[in-house]
Amino acid sequence: MELTAQEKTLLDLMKEEFGDRIIDWLHNVDQFSIIVKPESIFDIARFLKGDEKTGFELLSDICGVDWIDNPDQRFEIVYNFYNVTSGQRVLIRTFLPESGKPAIRSIQPIYSGADWLEREVYDMLGIEFEGHPDLRRILTPDGFEGWPHRKDFPLTYEQPHFSWNKDNPPEIIK
């Protein structure tokens, strides 16, 4: 599918600024994505928000995907940026390998809204966001073991959830 004039301009700006750190791009069902090297995500986020030619002042979402059958690119992180003035949206995608602890630099210092979004991706997939001011679980209880959105998470075992009062249940009123 052909790129719109806005998308082509953005892609040209990003290629000029980041060169070989831009791996690829695709346009699918009216959604424009740029695939980048993971070590460049902080600089790219700063460029998207701070450059007067781009103006992506809103980070709409961050999500993660587990591609379990591809160990070299097992974890995909997708950043959804939006330019409120022009109505342009772009997905910035990057991949992390399976080996070791998957980690990427936090963009929370640039987009404060990334705080909870990065915590959710951490909680569900175990991807660490280096430099995040408060990286801890947000949806699962403290002490929860594992990462529920990983495709190798066991589905046949149920951990006790929210059992804070199991040893001292509340009094039953009859």
CATH of the domain at 12: 3.30.460.80
DSSP string, 58-120: EEEEEEEEE-TT-GGG-EEEEEEEE-TTT--EEEEEEEE-SSS--EEE--TTT-TTHHHHHHH
Residue 108 inside a domain? The answer is: no
- The pTM assigned to this predicted structure is 0.87
Tally of structural domains, the chain: 1
Mean per-residue pLDDT pooled into runs of 10, the chain (174 residues): 89 96 92 96 97 93 96 96 95 93 96 97 97 94 88 73 58 55
What pLDDT score was predicted for residue 54? 93
Q: What is the Cα Rg of the chain in Å?
A: 19
What pLDDT score was predicted for residue 157? 59
Residues with Cβ within 8 Å of 172's Cβ and at least 6 positions away in sequence, in order, are: none
Q: SS3 of 24, please? A: strand
Task: Tokens for 2, please give them.
Answer: 């052909």
Residue 120 inside a domain? The answer is: no
Tell me which residue range forms the domain holding 79: 5-99
What pLDDT score was predicted for residue 128? 96
Residues with Cβ within 8 Å of 163's Cβ and at least 6 positions away in sequence, in order, are: none
Residue 20 inside a domain? The answer is: yes
Residue 65 inside a domain? The answer is: yes
What pLDDT score was predicted for residue 99? 82
What pLDDT score was predicted for residue 174? 47
Residue 46 inside a domain? The answer is: yes
d(CA 87, CA 20): 27
Residue 35 inside a domain? The answer is: yes
